[in-house]
C-alpha cells in the first residue's frame, strides 16, 4: 500500500477519534455539570411534620413550575431556595425543615423539567424560572423585596446570582458556587480544551459583579467537585457588603449536614440581619 494512503488513513482515524472525544466530552459535561433532573418526588414536607402549600407558578414563556411554601412564622423572612442540578425539591426536604426550624420561611421550587414542573431545562429557561418565582413571591404571596433572601446551591447559585443582578432583594447566599462552567471543565478535564466545548456558560463570576444586595458565600473546604478556590473567586468579584464562610470538613452537597448548628446559626443570622429582623 502506498505511503500516502497510509498517512491519509491515519489522519482520518485521528480526526474521527478527536471528533468522537470532543462529542463525548461535551455530552458528559452537559449531563454531569449541567442538568440531571428526576421526575419522581419521593418525599414531601408533610412527611417530616411540616405544614406547607403546594404552589403552581406560570413562567413568561408558558411553563408551569411546581413548588412548596413552608412558613416558619407570620413575620419570618422568606428564603427563595434554588437547588442544584440533580434530583428535585423532594431531595431537599430535610434541609428545608432545618431552615424552617431556624426561623426562616422557605419557597422551594423545581426548574422546568424537574419533578412535576413542565418543560425541559436550558440555561435561559432556568433563569426565566427564577424570575417567575421571585415575581410570584412578591405579587401573589405579598412578600416585599426587603424581606426576601435568595439562596442558591451549586448550579442554583448561578440562577440566584443571575436573578440578584436584576431584581431587588435583601440579601443573597451562594453556596458551593463555581465561577463558570468553562473553569469547572478545566478543573476536571485539564487535558481537554473544555473552554471551547462547554455549551452552557452559567457565568457566576460575571453576574455577581452586578449584584447590589449583601452577599454571603458558603463553601466546604473539602469540596472535590467545585474547589473552594472557585468560591473564593466568586466572593472576590462581588462588590459591596460580603462575607465568606468556610465549612470545615464539608464537601459539595453536605455543607448543612457537616456544618450542623454553627452553619444554621451563621446562615440565619445573615438572613435576619439583612432583612432587619434582628
Name the β-bridge partners of 81: 108, 151
Rounded to whole angstroms, the maximal C-alpha distance in the chain is: 84
What is the distance between the alpha carbons of residues 38 and 32, in angstroms, rounded to a whole number? 13
DSSP-derived secondary structure for 37-58: E-------GGGGT---EEEEEE
Give the DSSP H/E element, type plus range, for residue 157. Answer: helix 155-164
Cα–Cα separations (whole angstroms), residue 224 to 30, 211, 242? 18, 27, 24
Burial pattern 229-257, b for ≥16 Cβ within 10 A else e, equals ebbebbbebbeeebebbbbeebbbbebbe
Instruction: Enumerate the active-site residues.
Output: 154, 223, 252
Reading the block at residue 246, the C-alpha cell is: 468556610
Task: Give Cα 216 distance to the centre of its chain.
Answer: 14
Instruction: From 163, 227, 201, 232, select the one nearest 34 (Cα to Cα).
Output: 201
User: Shortest CA distance to 208 belongs to which of 184, 186, 240?
Assistant: 240
Compute the C-alpha angle 235/236/237, nearest 5°: 95
Amino acid at each position: 500500500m502506498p505511503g500516502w494512503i497510509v498517512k491519509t488513513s491515519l489522519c482520518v482515524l485521528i480526526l474521527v477519534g478527536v471528533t468522537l472525544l470532543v462529542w463525548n466530552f461535551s455530552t458528559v459535561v452537559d449531563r454531569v455539570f449541567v442538568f440531571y433532573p428526576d421526575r419522581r418526588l419521593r418525599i414531601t414536607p408533610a412527611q417530616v411534620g411540616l405544614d406547607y402549600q403546594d404552589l403552581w407558578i406560570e413562567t413568561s414563556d408558558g411553563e408551569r413550575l411546581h413548588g412548596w411554601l413552608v412558613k416558619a412564622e407570620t413575620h419570618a423572612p422568606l428564603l427563595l431556595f434554588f437547588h442544584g442540578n440533580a434530583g428535585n425539591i423532594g431531595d431537599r426536604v430535610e434541609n428545608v425543615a432545618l431552615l424552617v426550624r431556624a426561623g426562616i420561611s422557605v419557597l422551594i421550587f423545581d426548574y422546568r423539567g424537574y419533578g412535576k414542573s413542565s418543560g425541559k431545562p436550558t440555561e435561559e429557561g432556568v433563569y426565566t424560572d427564577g424570575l417567575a418565582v421571585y415575581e410570584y413571591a412578591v405579587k401573589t404571596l405579598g412578600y416585599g423585596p426587603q424581606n426576601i433572601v435568595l439562596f442558591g446551591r451549586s448550579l442554583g447559585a448561578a440562577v440566584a446570582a443571575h436573578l440578584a443582578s436584576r431584581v431587588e432583594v435583601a440579601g443573597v447566599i451562594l453556596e458551593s458556587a463555581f465561577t463558570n462552567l468553562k473553569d469547572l471543565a478545566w478543573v476536571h478535564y485539564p487535558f481537554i480544551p473544555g473552554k471551547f466545548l462547554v455549551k452552557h456558560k452559567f457565568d457566576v463570576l460575571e453576574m455577581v459583579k452586578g449584584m447590589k444586595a449583601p452577599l454571603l458565600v458558603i463553601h466546604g473546604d473539602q469540596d472535590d467537585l467545585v474547589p473552594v478556590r472557585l468560591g473564593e473567586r466568586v466572593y472576590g468579584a462581588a462588590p459591596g457588603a460580603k462575607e465568606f464562610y468556610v465549612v470545615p470538613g464539608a464537601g459539595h452537597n453536605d455543607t448543612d449536614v457537616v456544618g450542623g448548628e454553627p452553619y444554621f446559626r451563621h446562615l440565619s443570622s445573615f438572613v435576619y440581619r439583612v432583612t432587619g429582623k434582628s
